[in-house]
Amino acid sequence: GWAAACSHGLVSPGLGTQGSAGALRWGRLPQLGGPGAPEVTEPSRLVRESSGGEVRKQQLDTRVRQEPPGGPPVHLAQVSFVIPAFNSNFTLDLELNHHLLSSKYVERHFSREGTTQHSTGAGDHCYYQGKLRGNLHSFAALSTCQGLHGVFSDGNLTYIVEPQDMAGPWGAPQGPLPHLIYRTPLLPDPLGCRELGCLFAVPAQSAPPNRPRLRRKRQVRRGHPTVHSETKYVELIVINDHQLFEQMRQSVVLTSNFAKSVVNLADVIYKEQLNTRIVLVAMETWADGDKIQVQDDLLETLARLMVYRREGLPEPSDATHLFSGRTFQSTSSGAAYVGGICSLSRGGGVNEYGNMGAMAVTLAQTLGQNLGMMWNKHRSSAGDCKCPDIWLGCIMEDTGFYLPRKFSRCSIDEYNQFLQEGGGSCLFNKPLKLLDPPECGNGFVEAGEECDCGSVQECSRAGGNCCKKCTLTHDAMCSDGLCCRRCKYEPRGVSCREAVNECDIAETCTGDSSQCPPNLHKLDGYYCDHEQGRCYGGRCKTRDRQCQALWGHAAADRFCYEKLNVEGTERGSCGRKGSGWVQCSKQDVLCGFLLCVNVSGAPRLGDLVGDISSVTFYHQGKELDCRGGHVQLADGSDLSYVEDGTACGPNMLCLDHRCLPASAFNFSTCPGSGERRICSHHGVCSNEGKCICQPDWTGKDCSIHNPLPTSPPTGETERYKGPSGTNIIIGSIAGAVLVAAIVLGGTGWGFKNIRRGR
């Protein structure tokens, strides 16, 4: 058990205690004693000779020898190192992580003298990813700015390497540089699993057999990439608080390099398992003192961080995370809003201090919560959701004794369902490449290149026939993209991303680009669900849907809301005020406590606080069942109330437990729209306030008739014969992730921020 593990000294890098709030407490590196004690090693870099062989060099510097003057250091695109340790020679083959920083990357720090210093571009980009030579199931993430600093795994054990003397002189060491290398204890694998993917099956992508088929007149081809295969990009801002700056010996450079190394390792985890990249767009270091109060109450700190993000950060991002130098007096090592990615007010997290590997796992956890993954003790301790690796554990679970490096199958399911139900629209926009010299083979089309399908292996999978040496082959128009097929642009009107619900908008190819248009949804305020609900943040909001998602049953009768929510008690209210309950006014009863039928047992997500309330009324000859319960997520969010945007009467919607006329929401309009006319009757109005026209129409207001060609000019297309394309919903709309995103303002990518506009 846990006590036995501690008492016998099985303490390793990242060892953590379990916390009730759904996050692990990760420890720091051990210093002495036990199997986790480090060895001293002297790594060397492998340099190729003209004969084709390799020779070891003690100089670890990866900067190019003929770097251009006047700019930041340029590092080699590919390097190899040998690290002798634990009676083995570990050979690491690494490539520069070109996805780590965007071309508009900004670093900013506030000095003790009261000045603000900015720098743009990549800076000293020395962050690599790769594998152990000859080991397909390994991974590595290291920086080389000052010796080797990072993590690698052989598929079984995890190793952390860092220079022995981190306080040495700045600059590239010319001679041998002693390093410390740690590893997790050598314990038997009880499951006999050695392959990285053998424990974590990708969920099936087939639709339920009874699901009605959609009928569309749009041209669609079979076999389009799905949300699973389409690469996602999380554009992240990291803020380093003052205590992290203190932990890094008051060095802005060391603080920045440490934070980048953390993100680089988290990116390895996300890239290999979720086909998702983490890209830094900005970093801020509070060298002169914290800009917000950072305290042990993680949720309060998180709320302050989101206010600072809205008011103090000029750079746009999908999420903003605080890296703290504190060890919080809390059961959790981090906090984040569930389903909050893409939301300006809920896309963020707080991460406590630890070694690089521990902080990378905490970031993977908190960012996972932003992406709809849940902490759920009931699911993780039973059935097929139980983490299968009892030694390492799983990233989103309260299990294991060492640094986990895998998501469980259920976490992957939750992320995929979050995407399939409309979450994370901002993740499908690929950020621009680094401001580095063009490099053929890195997957980005840069100056002087017509195409770039990536490495030799990546080109063999897609695009290699259209792109040779970053030049398009004869007659080729494109080499990659959702709207590129057999080196030609897909015809206008071909679907490249299907709508996931009736509040989403299907994207179609334009005919003159290989890229699918941005992922948009209908403007807030559209009617949905047979005019029973309204679209709000890309989803159809009704009390029935919320009850089904939370409890698996329908909403209670209106009479229940009218009788109970005026009480101002635990079983019926319009929220809390201090230690008491707020009575609903008669016009606001449908925006108060969520009342459903047949509620019993545990909710489908979150934790039940207190008991389920159950009241029966006899009204107009009928027996009415009125039940509800207070349900909370690990981030403190209460799922027990009717969410904003839910219809509460004719042209009336809920907001902050009040039933307001739709006109109070200041819904935008699109060109060509009037009293009963939207986009000239030939399109839909998007959350950007722009018309998305039907395939046969064009123009800003969709008023110009432009018929599709009678036969497609390129590729093999066919009329639509059933569900296909990206984002087809394969699960019930009552999935757990949907509720979290709905209630929290989840993906929050509506066109208007109503609270700020009021």
Same fold, 39-64+72-164+235-421 and 672-707: no
Closest listed residue to residue 490, CA positions, set 505, 510, 474, 520: 510
- Per-domain boundaries in the chain: 39-64+72-164+235-421, 538-664, 672-707
| pLDDT of 194 above 50 | no
Closest listed residue to residue 740, CA positions, set 234, 340, 298: 340
* CA separation for the pair 38, 185 (Å, rounded): 11
What angle is formed at CA 360 by the lines to CA 355 and CA 365, rounded to 5 degrees?
A: 130
* Confidence category of residue 431, pLDDT binned at 50, 70, 90: confident
pLDDT of residue 283: 94
Both tokens of 325, joined, read 């130098």
Environment class of 600 (CB within 10 Å of its CB; exposed 0-12, middle 13-18, buried 19+): exposed
Return mean pLDDT, the chain.
77
Please state the rounded mean pLDDT for residues 151-164.
88
* CA separation for the pair 142, 139 (Å, rounded): 10
pLDDT of residue 80: 93
- Give bridge partners of residue 145 from the DSSP assignment: 147
Domain 39-64+72-164+235-421, CATH number (from 3.30.390.10, 1.10.510.10, 3.40.390.10, 1.20.1250.20)? 3.40.390.10
| CA end-to-end distance (rounded Å), the chain | 55
Q: What is the pLDDT of residues 483-525, one digit of tens each?
A: 988 899 999 889 888 888 889 999 899 888 888 888 889 998 8
Strands (E) across 136-201 are located at 139-143, 149-153, 158-163, 179-183
pLDDT of residue 381: 56
Separation in Å, CA 108 to CA 198, 285, 350, 678:
43, 6, 19, 44
8 Å CB contact between 617 and 626: yes
Long-range contacts of 187-194 (CB under 8 A, 24+ apart): 187/391, 189/156, 189/391, 190/390, 190/391, 191/388, 191/389, 193/388, 193/389, 194/137, 194/155, 194/156
The type of residue at 196 is L
The type of residue at 328 is F
| pLDDT of 265 above 70 | yes
pLDDT of residue 206: 32
The type of residue at 72 is P
Position with higher pLDDT, 726 vs 101: 101
Q: What is the pLDDT of residues 705-752, one digit of tens each?
A: 888 776 554 444 433 333 333 333 333 333 444 444 444 443 333 223
What's the 3-state SS for 42-111? Answer: CCEEEEECCCCCEEEECCCCCECCCCCCCCCCCECCEEEEEEEECCEEEEEEEEECCCCEEEEEEEEEEC
* Confidence category of residue 244, pLDDT binned at 50, 70, 90: very high
Residues 6+ apart with CB under 8 A from 82: 43, 44, 45, 46, 56, 89, 90, 91, 92
DSSP state of 569: B
CATH of domain 672-707: 2.10.25.10
Separation in Å, CA 565 to CA 462, 544, 574:
58, 17, 7
Q: How many CA atoms lie within 13 A of 743 on its CB side?
A: 32
* Confidence category of residue 223, pLDDT binned at 50, 70, 90: very low
